[in-house]
Homo-oligomer: A and B are copies of this chain.
C-alpha cells in the first residue's frame, strides 16, 4: 500500500482538501495545537494562492469531547468547530499535548481517539499527546517520541514501547509522534512536504517567517 502521505496527497489530487481534525481537551498546550493549526491553514492559503491545488489543500477543524468549549492551559478558552459526537471523520488526526491527566482518565476521549484514529489515514501526536496514542495502543510495535521532559514518564508508563529521545519527531508512516511544543511546527511542515511537496512546505515556512530545513 502507498505511504500515508502519498494517499493524503492523492485526496488533494482528486480536487478535495485533506480534512485535518485537531483534538482539544482541558489543559491542552496552546502552542501544541496552534502550531499545527497555523501550518496547515497557511499551507492551504499558500497552495491556493500559488495555484498548486484545484480544490484546496487542507481543511482544518477543531474537535473536543463532551463540550465544544475547552479551557486550554493557562486559561485560553476556545470554542471548537465540533463536539466528538457530531464530528465528521478526518483524514489527518492531530493529537496535541499539554497536561494529559484529564483525557487519559476520560473514557469518552480515549474512545474518540480510538475511533478517529482508526478512521484517519494518518495520526500525528505532538508533545505529550504521545501518552494518549500509547494508551490507545497506537504506538505498539512502532518507535515514538515525546517532550524531552516526559521521555522517562512515557517509558515508565509503557515499558513495552520503544521511546526515542533527542529527535524532533519519529515518522512511522501512519503514525507520527513529535517532541515538545515548538517541534510540532517543524513536524507539521514535514507533513506538508510529504503531502504537498517540499516547495509548498518551503513557501509555507517562508510565509510564516519560520526558519525551516527539511
What is the minimal beta-carbon distance from A104 to any residue of chain B, in angstroms? Answer: 20
A41: which B residues are within 8 A, CB to CB? 30, 73-74
Q: Known contacts A180-B209, A181-B209, A209-B181; is A78 also within 8 Å of B75 by CB?
A: no
Interface stretch (choices A2-10, A31-39, A106-114, A192-200): A31-39
Inter-chain contacts of A209 with B (CB < 8 A): 147-148, 179-183
The reply to whether A79 and B81 contact each other, CB–CB distance below 8 Å, is no
Q: How far is the CA of A162 from the CA of B179 in the complex (A)?
A: 40
Nearest CB on B from A80, distance (A): 8
Judge whether B74 and A79 touch: CB under 8 Å. no
Q: Which of A35-49 contact B (CB under 8 A)?
A: 35, 37-38, 41-42, 44-45
A60 interfacial contact with B, CB 8 Å:
yes
Q: Is A149 among interface residues, defined by CB-CB distance under 8 A?
A: yes
* Pairwise interchain contact B79-A69, C-beta atoms closer than 8 A: yes
The residue of chain B having its C-beta at the shortest distance from the C-beta of A74 within the complex is B41
A60 touches B74 (CB 8 A): yes
Bound together, the chains give a CA A23 to CA B207 distance in angstroms of: 22
- Using CB atoms, name the residue of chain B closest to A71: B79
- Does A157 lie at the interface of the complex (its beta carbon under 8 Å from any beta carbon of B)? no
A118 at the interface (CB under 8 A from B): no
Spell out A's residues near B (CB within 8 Å).
29-31, 34-35, 37-38, 41-42, 44-45, 60-62, 69, 73-81, 147-149, 179-183, 185, 207-211
